[in-house]
Structure 1
Amino acid sequence: MTKSKVLEMHNVSIVVQSLDNAIAFFQEIGLTLEGRMVVDGDWAGQVTGLGNQEVEIAMMVTPDGHTRIELSHFISPKTIADHRTAPVNSLGYLRIMFRVSHLDELLSRLTKQGATIVGKVVEFESIYRLCYIRGVEGLLIGLAEQLGNETATDILSEK
């Protein structure tokens, strides 16, 4: 029997209150709206375990086409929990990190949309300038601007 293996990470799903606001925010970061649709019926609920459900989704894709964020707005059943303002040491979802160019310019645009920097913009070992922000709906997002050719992966593989 052939052993299964991961071929790629296709997407991360985030539940939001306003699909339009979340789409606009991730477009500002540089993702593209790949598609938008309503997913409903028993078959969908069999996957999630929620039974009959109706969810509007929007698929956002990174410029390289390799990674996607699926934004989901539940019409029914209604959302029952909210973890968006949990601190970074909470169990579960922490943040999504994007490698970006021109970090300061992007931060300027995102703060005009209501994003706030969680701590400070810092430099990591002359490799990245990075920060966490609270973006649309309080989602925790990491932004990192690469400073040279070396990456954090290079450093981790040396240790």
Structure 2
Amino acid sequence: MMKAIANYFDYLFFTECYLGDWSLQKNLVFQAEKGFMFKDWCLLIPINNLGILPGHPLNDRDEIIYLPKCLLIFDGVKKSLLQITEYVENPPGSNNFVPPNDQPPAVIEDSFASDRPVTLFEIEGIYMHQLAWIDWEIESASFSLEVDFNGGDRSLSKT
């Protein structure tokens, strides 16, 4: 059973989550006279180990629970500011990971056309495919969380 929950962003805990490879997709609308027309952009981010705080519709407990896999959907994206900080083991073999002194974080900033009012969403977490920390600001018209309770994947990365 697939379930999408709109809003409730403030009830999500990102610090211990793992972000997979994200994708940006076009939102299209159909107009009878013109056919399909570009509307705006949708950002899909697969997440593993996302914390769900009490008060969220998916959490009926008085403590944080963790979803093994889910998908963040930001619809009507206007701006994305992504900062990726890579980590190195220092000293080697110590299991102590720190940002390298000589390498600033990679910053990727994109702006997109959107006429809809937007909200600022901020997420953070560990990048699943390399040793890096992600800080991400996303301005979008809406947010939803998609969970497949049957264990199926919809572009979700595996750990």
Q: Which has the higher helix share?
A: 1
Looking at both structures, which has the greater relative contact order when contacts are Cα pairs under 8 Å and sequence separation is at least 6?
Answer: 2
Q: Which has the higher strand share?
A: 2
Report the TM-score, using the length of structure 2 for normalisation: 0.24
